[in-house]
Amino acid sequence: MSTITGLPVPLPADAAPGLYIHIPFCRYVCPYCDFNVYAGQSDLIPDYLAALAGELALHAREQRLGNGVATVFIGGGTPSLLAPEQVGRILASIDDTLGIAPGAEITMESNPDNLDVDYCRGLVGAGIKRLSIGVQSLQQPGLKVLGRLHGAEGARDAYEAARTAGFNNISLDFIYGWPGQTRAQLHADLDELIAWEVDHVSLYALIVEQGTPLSTAVRRGQLLPIDDDTVASYYDESVERLAGAGFEHYEISNWARTTSRRSLHNQIYWQNGHYFGLGAGAHSYLGDVRASNAKLPRRYIEMVQSGALPVATSEPIDAELAMGETMMLGLRLLQDGVSAHDFELRHGVALTERYGALIERFAGIGLLRFDGERLRLTASGAMVSNSVLAEFLP
């Protein structure tokens, strides 16, 4: 396959990738966050949006995405810093240049403090169909530890504003296991989001990432992390409570009110599918190459303005790594798992031929189950998923 600046040209004829657009700007960077985000640079937004359109045009010129895109996800950062008109121009540019599949899931992330009814109506008019709101907690101690700018009432108001504006597909992000969290506070968060009848929930255990202000506070003894056993019990109780409310636990950290409310975009990642990233630090996986863009917004803008694709890194994905990632990502899908038929069709080798001994070992200790077609994590396997999934990587 021919390549341009380390990226494959073109995709296979039947592969329409998901499209991720990174908006790296925030009013304030939360102390636990290690994403590629920046505060105090919102003056760059107009030039940045122009650079997004420019990057899109550069890729289109090379005819790398002739099949259009299957999903669109605008993430960050805080995409809700953008005006609805700016969001609309981004989507129009994508549709004009690449084409967005009819009925495609189009998601945008937001913070509660950015949302009111008028703004949400503007997003609906701009073409956003699914809203992902970063609530993280409804408990004041949790909001303080996590450095969130909104309060519990603000989160409720934001959710109601989105519903009033016409969003019928809303996802909420929550974090559990933050320093000082009690079991009662966890249950209160779960009970409230259940009462809201939200469509989708992403629930993540707090990870203290090195180099963040949170890690500094922990190192200095200012915050005491919850022990691993307690965090594991919080996850177990969350699984039970959400199941009791009728949610489908379809991925290790994700629940949907109904199957139709699963995140289609994220399922592309979990199925080890092709995705395309626009923006500073955005990643792409197209053909057999994974690449990432320049991280700094100013550098990203400068590269696009010079007429260069803003690629900073690229690496070929060989057959062994591709198979391992199909297993590692696919097993995160608790209901679907990994299909033996699809694995062989994609990789040219039978699932049991490549991983038979590993499957037999984990099935023997109750961490995997295999019915001859689909391989899935058991409930016990999901509890120690990181250890299980790592074994499939070369």
For residue range 118-162, what is the model confidence (pLDDT) as tens digits?
999 999 999 999 999 999 999 999 999 999 989 999 999 999 999
**Statement to judge: residues 26 and 154 lie in one domain:** yes
**Statement to judge: residues 365 and 266 lie in one domain:** no
Average pLDDT over residues 266-275: 95
pLDDT, residue 16, reads 82
pLDDT band at 114 (very low <50, low <70, confident <90, very high): confident
**Statement to judge: residues 256 and 374 lie in one domain:** no
Domain boundaries, position 125: 3-270
pLDDT tens digits, one per residue of 212-246: 999 999 999 999 999 999 999 999 999 999 999 99
**Statement to judge: residues 78 and 204 lie in one domain:** yes
pLDDT, residue 287, reads 84
**Statement to judge: residues 249 and 327 lie in one domain:** no
Q: Is 296 within a domain?
A: no
**Statement to judge: residues 243 and 336 lie in one domain:** no
Mention every residue, 6+ apart, whose C-beta is less than 8 A from residue 4: 62, 64, 309
Query: Side chain identity at 9, as an amino acid letter?
Result: V
Q: Is 313 within a domain?
A: no
Global pTM?
0.93
Give the max Cα distance, the chain: 58
pLDDT tens digits, one per residue of 179-209: 999 999 999 999 999 999 999 999 999 999 9
pLDDT band at 4 (very low <50, low <70, confident <90, very high): very low
Q: Is 45 within a domain?
A: yes
**Statement to judge: residues 189 and 114 lie in one domain:** yes
Q: Is 184 within a domain?
A: yes
For 105-131, give one letter per residue: b (16+ CB within 10 A) or e: bbbbbbbbbbbebebbbbbbebbbbbb
**Statement to judge: residues 339 and 259 lie in one domain:** no
pLDDT tens digits, one per residue of 292-351: 999 999 999 999 999 999 999 999 999 999 999 999 999 999 999 999 999 999 999 999
Measured distance CA(99)–CA(218) in Å, rounded: 47
Q: Is 337 within a domain?
A: yes
Most confident of 100-104, 110-114, 387-391: 387-391
CATH number at residue 195: 3.20.20.70
CB neighbourhood size of 183 (10 A) = 11
Query: Total domain count for the chain?
Result: 2
Q: Is 284 within a domain?
A: no
**Statement to judge: residues 210 and 348 lie in one domain:** no
Q: Is 286 within a domain?
A: no
List the beta strands (DSSP E) in the chain.
3-4, 7-8, 18-23, 25-26, 38-39, 69-76, 100-110, 130-136, 170-176, 200-205, 248-251, 254-256, 275-278, 283-286, 289-293, 311-316, 338-339, 368-370, 374-377
Q: Is 275 within a domain?
A: no
pLDDT band at 44 (very low <50, low <70, confident <90, very high): very high
Measured distance CA(53)–CA(279) in Å, rounded: 10
pLDDT, residue 8, reads 35
**Statement to judge: residues 238 and 357 lie in one domain:** no
**Statement to judge: residues 324 and 179 lie in one domain:** no
List the beta strands (DSSP E) in 229-350.
248-251, 254-256, 275-278, 283-286, 289-293, 311-316, 338-339
pLDDT tens digits, one per residue of 162-177: 999 999 999 999 999 9
Last residue of a domain, one of 231, 250, 270: 270
CATH number at residue 346: 1.10.10.920
pLDDT, residue 9, reads 34
